[in-house]
Amino acid sequence: MIALGIDIGGTKIAGGIVDDNGSLLDVEYRATDASKGKDYVLEGIDELITELCSRCKPDAIGIGSAGRIDVDSGSVYYATSNLPNWTGLNLKRHIEDRHGIPTIVDNDVNTAGIGEMWLGAGKNEQSTVCVTLGTGIAAAVFVDGKIVRGGRWSAGEIGHMILYPGGRPCNCGQRGCFEQYGSGTALYRSYNERRGEEAIASGRQFFELLATGDIAARDTLDAFISDLAVAFISLANVYDPDLFIVGGGLIDTKEWWWERLERHIREQANPAVASMKLVPAAFKNQAGMLGAAKLGFEYVAELNASK
């Protein structure tokens, strides 16, 4: 069997041809250009699928998209303005009408987690929390071999756990969310806050300063690690995972914080969860495509079983 795995990201749309052994046979990309609007993004997705379909005959299409996705209907339950007018869109219906191939849609962090569980760091595991630390923070949660999606398709939105009541405003409408303290974006904002000026504008600049021995950067990193530890310990007490699988853009800087995060957790967590393990994600950019394709295979099997 062959499935297309489509990963709709903020900057690019990735599409892969995947066989049911998990081999990625071919890959194609398009720029998302979300600022050009919903129709433009959809056109990019359609073009990408048409191109991939000219190279194979897929049995299914799996799609991972930003936003909270109603997996049953294939529509977007809620998405931020990063993908304009995405909320309410029935992506499954759109793709099936256009391409005539059974399609299933899930949240992009979930599809990446499914990819890691299928072929990556979570292979052979049953209970994991797959955390993405990037410009934002989210997780795919697996308990006893099943992904947890929740009543409003919002399970795993760990970036919006409140760490500091009344703290920094978040684009979700709350204040003091984890994402405002533990993400790559938060790192440089925290640094600027500490300095009392807009000194830097990216996570990359932050780590450059850190490498020069900048004291404010060092203090910012200390607070960042401490906040991450608090969040991971809380998650461990809620889900009791065998493993935390950690991916996302910040993983590229892990030599600065990984070991200290592990130490903080060992020192502060209760004995029941202090032995929890953290492992880096096995895939950088392919997990989303692979996981989306895996969902596609499962969906087709389900359709065939109900015939």
Query: Reduced to 3 states, what is the DSSP secondary structure of residue 255?
Result: helix
177 binds Zn ion (CB under 5 A): yes
Of the candidate residues 90, 135, 174, 234, the single one contacting Zn ion (CB under 5 A): 174
- Of the candidate spans 25-33, 87-95, 157-165, 195-203, the one that interacts with Zn ion by CB under 5 A turns out to be 157-165
CA 283 to chain centre: 12
Give how far Cα 49 sits from Cα of 17, 27, 55, 74, 228, Å.
10, 11, 10, 17, 38
The amino acid that residue 198 corresponds to is E
The angle subtended at Cα 127 by Cα 250 and Cα 10, nearest 5°, is: 35
Q: Which residues have a Cβ under 8 Å from the Cβ of 197 and sit 6 or more positions away?
A: none
Closest to Zn ion by CB, 60 or 79? 79
68 binds Zn ion (CB under 5 A): no
Closest to Zn ion by CB, 2 or 155? 155
Of the candidate residues 56, 143, 170, 278, the single one contacting Zn ion (CB under 5 A): 170
- CB 157 → Zn ion: shortest distance, Å? 8
162 binds Zn ion (CB under 5 A): no
Report yes or no: 4 and 16 within 8 Å, Cβ to Cβ: yes
- CB 168 → Zn ion: shortest distance, Å? 9
Closest to Zn ion by CB, 168 or 195? 168
80 binds Zn ion (CB under 5 A): no
Report yes or no: 76 and 86 within 8 Å, Cβ to Cβ: yes
Closest to Zn ion by CB, 105 or 250? 250
What φ, ψ does residue 211 adopt, rounded to 5°?
A: -65, -20
160 binds Zn ion (CB under 5 A): yes
Q: Residues interacting with Zn ion, by CB under 5 A?
A: 160, 170, 172, 174, 177
